[in-house]
Amino acid sequence: SDFSLSDFVGKTVVLYFYNKDDSPGCTKEACSFRDSYNKYKSLGIVVLGVSADDKASHQAFSTENKLPFPLLVDTDLSIIKSYDVDGGGYAERVTYVIDGNGQIIIVDANVNTATHATDILTQLGK
């Protein structure tokens, strides 16, 4: 289904861009968010992952790693380009945190894939 940031007015959104489904670093990063997901959910924070992979790839990656949050399909790179994270046909590893008013409050391009989800919570003071 289609998503729009306007669907999440009033909620904080973590929009994390990653290179590719099933790559070692991206798997660590996704599992970091999976392992911290209950904390995000309890705080009312929405987690969305974005890469240029197609729907079938996302479904397999999500199922294999038991991801409880959506992965957005961006095969035409429109989201990736609008957030200026185009690494030449793939998404660079950057996370945006967007507050409930639609304002970007954190841009994190210094990602430690194993601890990224907890690092974002720390930056949010949670």
Residues annotated as part of the active site: 26
What is the amino acid identity at position 46? V
DSSP string, 100-125: TTS-EEEEE----TTTHHHHHHHHTT
Nearest CA-CA partner of 116 in 4, 17, 5? 17
